[in-house]
Amino acid sequence: MLVEARHVAFVKCVIEASEGLACMFAERGGELLLVAPRSREKELDRLVSDLRDELCATGSACLVNGGSR
């Protein structure tokens, strides 16, 4: 997912507060990779959708054990 660089810390806090829902990796700026187990795919999709709405983010989540969506 892609967010403005100033929102990376906020997204990290949301992910960490989600009790094991996903892990977040960031290489530069606001380019984020979120990974989660398939069993939590729908939860992660909802969270990404909510973050997109709130932060005007773009992109989608990538899932472990099955590639990307």
pTM assigned to the model: 0.76
pLDDT tens digits, one per residue of 4-32: 888 899 999 999 999 999 999 998 888 99
Strand partners, 68: 62
At residue 58, what is the residue type? Answer: T
Q: Is 65 helix (H, G, I), strand (E, B) or coil?
A: coil
Q: What local confidence, expressed as pLDDT, does residue 27 receive?
A: 82
CA dist 26 and 33 (Å) reads 6
Pair 62, 68: CB distance under 8 Å: yes
Mean pLDDT, rounded, of the chain: 82
* Residues constituting the chain: 69
